[in-house]
Amino acid sequence: MAATFILSSCLDSDNNNVEYEYSADAQITSLRLSSSEDSLKVLPGIEFSINQVSSAPIIFNKDSLPYLFDVENVSMNITTNNASGIKIHLSNDSSYIWNMTDSVLVKKLRLIEVFAQDGKTKKTYTFKLTTHQQDPDTIFWQNIENNYIPAPTDQVTVSNKSSFFIYHKTNSTLQLSTSLIVDGETWTSKLLNGLPQNVVLNSIRNEVFEERDLWFALDTNNKVYLSENGVDWTEQSSDYPIKAIFGKLPSFTKDSVLTIVEDGGKYKFAKTIDFSTLHVLNEIPVGFPIEEFTTAKVKDLLIYTAKYLVVTGGKSINGMLNRNIWLLQESEDKITFTSKRLQFNVLGSSLFNYDNKIYLLTSEDNKNVFYTSTNYGVFWEKANSKQSLPIEFINRTNHSVHVDSKNNIWIFGGVSSNQRQFVEIWKGRINKLFVQ
């Protein structure tokens, strides 16, 4: 809308009438903040959303300011469509016409009132500047359940989209207990079918292929067992003895399960989906683990070539402890690898994906610590102390770690230095990944 004014000149004829249009646009189109008190230059990077809804226009920052961020005076750069003036309203009910250059008390800024050129139209925006009320990098841990299964001699926890499955042995008796992920405190015993007593518990894995759950397990005789629900299992015959199952291998074409088979006295990588057929590849490298290892997947949607299976811990063919990190990648008709010796303990550790990093839960100086990697596992650093486990979390190895859809980290079980099995569940979440 615009207001039109006609001015006439007496020096000439009607041809000297001049029309001026004054805009009725009182919208703010952009807002930027800066401050001499902002030593880290946080404010210039803050983007503001401007909701122009006539009933309740509001300006707010998309991402909250850092925890404990604190400035009093800011310089504001407001862009309008040639508005005639701006009035600032503070939280103490004071207001003033702003000259566009004076600093503003941002903590008290409540409303920004804009006057259009036409002198009649105005628009008042609520201003909201949010700051993290909790340290975004802190993880708060809680022990949510204990003694939820009979004291085991061995255990492993596996998860699918909706539930946790704890496979546990008491002496030679194999049992299964389950709980919904949204719960984690109420556990129900399930009757296992088809899974033998000599199953290797830490071989049990669950993967999703084309929205269908597939479960895999090995026994001590290198036989493979498959399931679609984690409860009912059937033995799957195979053309080769299966020595290890690593789970889904991220691929440039179609993902498949990576496994190790024995072929003519040699240990080789092989790909499969259901073990009914195996595509045998190249021989595994010297020192590569075939048991008691831990894995994490990398499939970066922004970098086409970043597709890896990360492996560490465990033991090699000849029983030697593996202290390296291995990055496996499918390349044409073979598995290529990068290997690096790590300068911290990886034995009995757990890899998992979290906060756009790879995390490793391991033991160090008689306590459990986290290491993280932002470059697919090549370089590592110890996690921020704000994420440390509490002193009540007694040092343990061979734990099971899972991350749910609400970014909760779940730590199940583990083994103490004197080989005692823990029957504990711990849960934590980094503040910045909070999901309602």
| Sequence letter at residue 347 | L
Strand partners, 111: 89, 126
Please answer whether residues 368 and 145 qualify as being in contact, where contact means their C-beta atoms are separated by less than 8 angstroms.
no
For residues 126-158, b (16+ Cβ closer than 10 Å) or e, as one string? ebebeebeebebbbebeeebeebbeebebbbbb
Kindly report the pTM of this predicted structure: 0.80
For the chain, which residues make up each domain, given as ranges? 2-128, 139-433
CATH topology for 139-433? Neuraminidase (2.120.10)
Selected residue with higher pLDDT from 69 and 17: 69
Query: What percentage of the chain reaches a pLDDT higher than 90?
Result: 82
Residues 222-249 have pLDDT tens digits of 999 999 999 999 999 999 999 999 999 9
Q: Please state, in angstroms and rounded to a whole number, the distance separating the CA atoms of residues 178 and 363.
A: 28
CB 330, CB 350: distance < 8 Å: no
From 107-121, 159-173, 248-262, 336-350, the region with the lowest mean pLDDT: 248-262
For 366-392, the pLDDT digits (tens) are 999 999 999 999 999 999 999 999 999
Average predicted confidence (pLDDT) for the chain = 93
How much is the pLDDT for 20?
67
Q: How far is 162 from 168, CA to CA, in rounded Å?
A: 20
Of 231, 249, 224, give the one whose Cα is nearest residue 334: 249
44: helix, strand or coil: helix
For residue 4, pLDDT over 70 is answered with: no
CA nearest to 347, candidates 375, 368, 329, 378: 368
Summarised one tens digit per residue, pLDDT across range 90-132 is 998 999 999 999 999 999 999 999 999 998 999 999 999 999 8
Pick the range with the lowest mean pLDDT from 3-17, 63-77, 121-135, 200-214.
3-17
Write the CA distances from 150 to 143, 172, 189, integer angstroms: 18, 13, 11
What tokens were used for 169? Answer: 């042995």
Per-residue pLDDT tens digits for 129-158 = 999 888 889 999 999 999 999 999 999 999
Give the model confidence (pLDDT) of 298-324 as tens digits. 988 888 888 999 999 999 999 999 999
Across 6-10, 130-134, 261-265, which has the greatest mean pLDDT?
261-265
